[in-house]
Amino acid sequence: MKQSLDLPSISTSKITEDLVKKVDALSRSLAAEDIVACEIEIDATFGIHPKTQKRYKTALRKMFEIPLRTSLAELSTHPQIRQALEVILLRKERNDEGALRSAKGLSVVMPTNGEIVSVEEFLKSLYPREAVNAASCYRALKARCFKKQVIKEDGSPCAMIDLPGEASISRFLKKWRVEFVAVRRGRSRKNDWQKFQEGFVTRDVSQYRAGELWIGDHTELDFMVINENGKPDRRWITAYIDIRTGLLVGYHLSWQPNSNTIALAFRNGVLGTQLKACVESEDGLHYSPVQVNSVPEVVMLDNGKDYRSKYTQRVMGKIDFDDSARLSIQRITRLHYTAPYHGQSKAQMERWFGTIQQMVKYLPGYKGNKYQNTPDSLKAETKQGKLLHVEQFDMMIAIAINTYNNRIRRSLKEQSPLQCYLTNQTVQRTIDPRVLDFLMLKAENKVIRRCQFTLFGQEYYSDSLLAFNGKHADIYYDPNDLGFVAIYVEKEFAAVACNKEMIGRDESGWKRILRDRQRNEHGLQTELKDYRRGISNTDAKIMLLEGELLNAAPVSADLLAKTAPSMTVLTGLEKEAKHQVEQIDRQKEVAVLELETKKKSKQTPLRVGSMENIR
């Protein structure tokens, strides 16, 4: 045990009466015979939880270097025990939790307007922006310090060593992001905000009647299937489920979901054309069709753009008809939408999607719900041509759905979803199939000229339209078969026009009308701008870029002055080149000597006497 400690001095203003009482109580607890009873008494008197008292004692063991599981009674007589307890209590009760204490006394001079802000405000102004992390903010702060724009309290420039570390800045910004709403909103996706922040009401399915509320959605099945062109593709399923019984009332399989598939699945659910009951006969168990014509009171759909199309909203009852031919038809149901990006709003539907795919996951072509879960056999099945054709796959999905609807469930009191649906349906709302088909038609307003009109770039002609040339007409067409259309003029049926080339063709390529999602984000965006402290995006990008570019380690002067002895190493090629250069230099010298000799010989005159001497 340490006999003396180097404890920080505590100002007398912080030693309050309440602090003195807590220190006395903790000192008494160290020497108490019944420690548990004393801790309970301290908890009741001062509100210090026994677990917190144990943490205080753990801190004392570290300060005085006392081993674990040893008594602290000898500390009660230590001369510095009161000062140690005061330090521990004040450390716990400090009011700067979450602050960047290592940057205390430092300020940043903004390069744009010369404003002086604290380091914390400078970091908060950069961090909420897109694609910015704590490391980028730290480098931007270093760049300001490199330009001598980080100053101390006395106005002198701050050195690099005085800046807070990157880990401290990361912890500070992480805690600040969690605490403040605008930062969480600014640095998270919209679905995360709605999922974790916005409240929602839990739905009690037992309060609904069978057939009262349907939930509709579609998903992409986790299977590779051979399409009509002989190529692997993935199938989509659009389905409706009864929330009270969990019965899948209707569905439609397609290559790409749209407003047409939503209407077709709803029609199958209303007319009950896909419901089959498991019955027992002499030949054994088999599935028999069930004739159920039931219209739900409420339909709840997803927030996808195809569900929000004007066509879907008119069919389901979200928007009243504005065309004359269908004004007299009563609305068949009410339409509601789930919360955007909120799977809990349609939990029953999402759970069913997972169940039905698990039921048929042993079929060839199963690719898993994630890339990491892709079976090793998928590649071999694709190469060997073992993938199911679209007709075979659709048949297997139909069998799986019939099995699901007729399987006993404990939550339904040992009944199957179909049995529960048929026995607990107190009110059955029906509709004439012909009226339902008429509601599913789409309408366009066209002008009739020369007994014809243009729809989807194709001309539709009928001799009966001769009397209506130049008039506006309501054109009703089936989006799944554009060959025949019905024409109404001034609320009266006029004729049926035909285009032979369009018979059997669906409305592929139809431009769906999108309805923009409206979200009230004005308050959050205003709060987010306040955190950015008036720095424009351009200035923030420049400061962050400077933090990246000026993030270099300085080289010491000693290292720059240090030199090493040089040594020339000649390779074979260098030796050959050097030898050639030497030969050229020698040839140049010989040529120069010859030129000088010729010049001298021309300048010297010949004499007769000398010639005689030569002879």
SS3 sequence, 94-126?
CCCCCCCHHHCCCEEECCCCCCEEEHHHHHHHH
CB 149 within 8 Å of CB 108: yes
**Could you tell me how far CA 177 lies from the centroid of its own chain?**
17
Above 60 in pLDDT, residue 96? Answer: no
Sorted by sequence, the CB contacts under 8 Å of residue 606 that are 6+ apart come out as none
**pLDDT of 511:** 37
Cα separations (Å) of 34 from 37, 39, 55, 420?
Answer: 6, 9, 18, 63
> Cα-atom radius of gyration of the chain, to the nearest Å?
43
| Locus of tokens 């009760």 | 93
Above 90 in pLDDT, residue 512? Answer: no
**pLDDT of 518:** 42
Above 90 in pLDDT, residue 240? Answer: yes
- Which tokens go with 437? 């088909």
- Which tokens go with 528? 């987010």
The span from the CA of 264 to the CA of 391, in Å, is: 18
Q: What is the DSSP string of 361-402?
A: TTSTTB--SSGGG--THHHHHHHTT-SPBHHHHHHHHHHHHH
**pLDDT of 328:** 57
The span from the CA of 152 to the CA of 161, in Å, is: 13
Torsional sign, CA 503, 504, 507, 509: negative
Q: Where are the alpha helices (DSSP H) in 32-118?
A: 35-46, 50-64, 81-92
pLDDT digits (tens, 9 = 90+) for 49-83: 888 888 888 888 888 888 877 788 878 778 888 88
Please state at what angle helix 17-31 crosses helix 35-46, rounded to 10 degrees.
Answer: 170
Which of 123-137, 171-185, 236-250, 369-383 has the largest mean confidence?
236-250
Above 60 in pLDDT, residue 245? Answer: yes
Average pLDDT, the chain: 80
**pLDDT of 84:** 83
Angle at 17 between CA 11 and CA 19, to 5 degrees: 70
**pLDDT of 439:** 77
Torsional sign, CA 132, 135, 139, 141: positive
**pLDDT of 509:** 41
Above 70 in pLDDT, residue 251? Answer: yes
**pLDDT of 513:** 29
258-272, 290-304, 327-341: range with lowest mean pLDDT: 327-341
**pLDDT of 615:** 45
Q: Mapping DSSP to helix (H, G, I), strand (E, B) and coil, where does residue 259 land?
A: helix
Give 149's pLDDT tier (boundaries 50, 70, 90): very high
**pLDDT of 517:** 35
pLDDT digits (tens, 9 = 90+) for 559-589: 777 777 777 666 677 778 888 888 888 888 8
Give the CA diameter of the chain: 156
Selected residue with higher pLDDT from 212 and 566: 212
pLDDT digits (tens, 9 = 90+) for 444-485: 888 888 888 888 777 888 888 888 888 888 888 877 777 788
Query: How many residues comprise the chain?
Result: 615
CB 134 within 8 Å of CB 166: yes
**pLDDT of 521:** 53
Bridge partners (DSSP) of residue 248 are 241
**pLDDT of 539:** 86
Cα separations (Å) of 193 from 131, 175, 200, 338, 339?
Answer: 18, 17, 13, 16, 12
The span from the CA of 300 to the CA of 214, in Å, is: 6
Sorted by sequence, the CB contacts under 8 Å of residue 394 that are 6+ apart come out as 235, 253
**pLDDT of 507:** 66
- Alpha carbons within 13 angstroms on the beta-carbon side of residue 179 total 10
CB 238 within 8 Å of CB 218: yes
pLDDT digits (tens, 9 = 90+) for 358-394: 888 888 888 887 777 777 788 888 888 888 898 999 9
Mean pLDDT of 108-124: 88
User: Amino acid identity, residue 32?
Assistant: A
Selected residue with higher pLDDT from 181 and 425: 425
How big, in percent rounded to 5, are the helix, strand and coil portions of the chain?
A: 45, 15, 40
Mean pLDDT of 283-307: 83
Bridge partners (DSSP) of residue 488 are 474, 493
The span from the CA of 104 to the CA of 153, in Å, is: 9
Mean pLDDT of 501-505: 72
Cα separations (Å) of 525 from 38, 56, 486, 529, 565?
Answer: 52, 43, 50, 6, 64
**pLDDT of 252:** 92
The span from the CA of 544 to the CA of 559, in Å, is: 30
pLDDT digits (tens, 9 = 90+) for 160-185: 888 888 988 988 888 888 777 666 66
DSSP class of residue 261 equals: H
CB 68 within 8 Å of CB 43: no
The span from the CA of 533 to the CA of 594, in Å, is: 86
Q: Mapping DSSP to helix (H, G, I), strand (E, B) and coil, where does residue 615 land?
A: coil
Selected residue with higher pLDDT from 476 and 98: 476
CB 144 within 8 Å of CB 106: no
Nearest to 322 by CA among 332, 333, 310: 310
Above 90 in pLDDT, residue 239? Answer: yes
Above 60 in pLDDT, residue 610? Answer: no
Selected residue with higher pLDDT from 295 and 506: 295
Please give the domain boundaries of the chain with CATH numbers for all domains. Answer: 17-92 (no CATH), 101-188 (no CATH), 206-423 (3.30.420.10), 441-498 (no CATH)
The span from the CA of 370 to the CA of 255, in Å, is: 20
Percent with pLDDT over 90 in the chain = 7
**pLDDT of 236:** 92
**pLDDT of 108:** 92
**pLDDT of 552:** 80
Nearest to 335 by CA among 289, 381, 376, 303: 303
The span from the CA of 418 to the CA of 425, in Å, is: 11
The span from the CA of 137 to the CA of 117, in Å, is: 15
**pLDDT of 611:** 45
